[in-house]
Structure 1
Amino acid sequence: MPDEEAIREALKDVIDPEIGMNIVDLGLIYDVEPDPATRQVNVNMTLTSPGCPVGPELKSAVWLTVKRMDGVEDCEVNLVWKPRWDPSVHASEEARMFLGIW
């Protein structure tokens, strides 16, 4: 069963096509909760906006990425809106520089 760090690393392969950066560095992944007892992973994530047109695509990509990891039986991906995504707070330094936020 992968740990939180390994799952977050795998999720860096999921790219937001509108921005061109991975969703982990953008700060869209809020919580990753692997449960070794049930072999289930719960992921709480957000989108850049509630009306994000690629939201369903990103959610599916997260589910598929986690589900394909060795030791994972099931994955639940929840879209959450609190706290509201703020790239100046949630994004990595690399992402903030990419977005022009200093």
Structure 2
Amino acid sequence: MLVPEVTEQDVRNALREIEDPEMGTSIVDLGLIYEIDVTEPAVVKIKMTTTTRFCPASGYIADAARQRIEDIAGVSQAVVDLVYEPAWSPDMVSLFELPKT
């Protein structure tokens, strides 16, 4: 059976479904995803952060990201690296996703 090639955009779209429970906004649109690596077949590695180092939902968010990535066709393993450098700031929020006023 032919396994589909997974792209960075596939991963980004999947992660967009996960909301930060405190902010109510996608972890992608908040700028919490720093890096997506799809160079290894069937393995996706991401570097991500949370809005603060002491975020009580950090484990939940990282687990949700891993599970959602592993649900993508063609992915057998997701590696989620939770990092805090650079520190997240509101400047990282994706402006094109905010409602237009």
> TM-score category by the smaller chain?
0.7 to 0.9
TM-score by length of 2: 0.87
Tell me the CA shift for residue 73 of structure 1: 1.2
* Matching of residues 83-94 of structure 1 within 5 Å: 83-88=86-91, 90-94=92-96
Q: How many residues are aligned here?
A: 95
Pick from 13, 17, 25 the counterpart of residue 17 of structure 2.
13
TM-score by length of 1: 0.87
Residue 33 of structure 2 is aligned to residue 29 of structure 1:
yes
Amino acid at match of 1:25: D
Q: Distance in 2 between matches of 1:5 and 1:59?
A: 19
Could you say what secondary structure the match of 2:12 adopts?
helix
In structure 1, list runs of 5 or more residues that go unmatched.
none
In structure 2, list runs of 5 or more residues that go unmatched.
none
Tell me the CA shift for residue 75 of structure 1: 0.7
Amino acid at match of 1:82: E
Following TM superposition, the consecutive aligned residue runs of length 4 or more in structure 1 with deviations greater than 4 angstroms are: none
Q: Distance in 2 between matches of 1:7 and 1:15?
A: 15
Could you say what secondary structure the match of 2:67 adopts?
helix
User: CA 1:38 to 1:17, structure 2 compared with 1: closer, same or farther past 3 Å?
Assistant: same
| Superposed CA offset, 1:65-97 (max 9, x none) | 000100001110001111110121x110156x5
Pick from 46, 65, 69 the counterpart of residue 62 of structure 1.
65
Q: Distance in 2 between matches of 1:30 and 1:67?
A: 18
Identical-pair percentage: 34
